[in-house]
Amino acid sequence: MANTETALKEALASIEGATGAALVDYTSGMALGTIGGSKTFDLNVAAAGNTDVIRAKIRTMEHLGLKAEIEDILITLTDQYHLIRLLTGRGGNGLFLYLVLDAKRANLAMARHQLKRIEESLEV
Amino acid sequence: MADEPALLEELHRLRARVPQLTGALAASVDGLVLAHDTPGVEPEGLAALTAAALGVAIRTTDATGRGELRELLLRGHLGYVATYAAGAHAVLTLLAQDRVNVGRLHLEGRRAGARIGELVDAAALAPARPAVRPAPRTRTARTAASPAAGPTTTTTPRGTTPRTTTES
């Protein structure tokens, strides 16, 4: 079991190509923890913006009558991948992990697998 | 005192950017309405209550060594009331539904507060003076005159007092 800080550190350290990560509460849009990022890449802005992404997707699924849960969301930019993974269980409801990857260095399949593992061991 | 159409435009822009906002009000720190877009809520009353809440909030941040007051967030059963510092003379109060994205509310509220502060300070001060921060002497005078004065009024000893106590 890892706490927020260790989980974020592990994400940044062990996932190849990771440049930033955040744990975000999408009921409020605020980040519980952030790591990495830069002056030009504010993870708190990303937290608020991606909260809207998740809320829109959840609403769309309700409209479509889909009963399934979102596991993760992948956003592909020309030079980055953004991975969003929703937390399940253990009081993690309403939270998501957000991971920024450098597309040149990252292995997407491996990153997704590792993020899943980090999410499973995360205790909030 | 400030350019009201410009303030109103800022409030309208804010409400367009955050659809869960139900009202926005720019008020002076002593409780006068500068511009408002608050359907269903009486702006004069809200401005007066904001000033009263600010008075307590500023004293609290000051007494606990948290520095200048930047924002004040209230949450009721049905939504939020957020007040952001807007320069030396004004504040921005936003009303939002409970389902608002608070992260976004803060981002937009802080930005709009800074812009409104520039507009109001520019109108209130001599044109040559930079808009962001008036001289400390003015603030001391304001504090003495009005206990419920603005978000930057209590900052005359800013930095020095808390810092020396923690270091020694």
- Domain spans of chain B, in order of start: 4-167
User: What's the pLDDT score for residue B146?
Assistant: 46
Question: By the CB < 8 Å criterion, does B82 face chain A?
Answer: no
User: pLDDT below 70 — which residues of chain B?
Assistant: 1-2, 126-168
Tell me the residue range of the domain where A25 lies: 4-121
User: What's the pLDDT score for residue B143?
Assistant: 45
Q: What is the pLDDT along chain A (124 residues), one digit of tens a residue?
A: 789 999 999 999 999 999 999 999 999 999 999 999 999 999 999 999 999 999 999 999 999 999 999 999 999 999 999 999 999 876 778 999 999 999 999 999 999 999 999 999 998 8
Distance CA B164, CA A105 (A): 47
Q: CB-hemisphere CA count at 13 Å for A119?
A: 26
User: What's the pLDDT score for residue B31?
Assistant: 95
Q: In one letter, which amino acid is B49?
A: L
User: What's the pLDDT score for residue B155?
Assistant: 43
Substitution target from B100, B107, B110, B111 for chain A, most A beta carbons within 10 A: B107
Q: In one letter, which amino acid is A26?
A: Y
Query: Environment class of residue B59 by beta-carbon count within 10 Å: exposed (0-12), middle (13-18) or buried (19+)?
Result: middle
The CA dihedral of A97, A100, A105, A111, to the nearest 10 degrees, is 10
Looking at the structure of chain A, the number of domains it has is: 1
Q: What is the DSSP letter of B96?
A: E
User: What's the pLDDT score for residue B127?
Assistant: 57
Query: Environment class of residue B129 by beta-carbon count within 10 Å: exposed (0-12), middle (13-18) or buried (19+)?
Result: middle
CATH number at residue A74: 3.30.450.30
Question: By the CB < 8 Å criterion, does A30 face chain B?
Answer: yes
Provide the ipTM. Answer: 0.71
A-chain CB neighbours of B107 within 8 Å are: 44-45, 48
Per-residue tokens: B86: 């807007």
User: What's the pLDDT score for residue B126?
Assistant: 52
Substitution target from A23, A25, A28, A53 for chain B, most B beta carbons within 10 A: A28
The residue among A38, A51, A42 whose CA lies nearest residue A97 is A51
Q: What is the CATH number of domain B4-167?
A: 3.30.450.30
pLDDT single digits (tens) B97-136: 999 999 999 999 999 999 999 999 998 875 544 445 544 5
Distance CA A14, CA A108 (A): 13
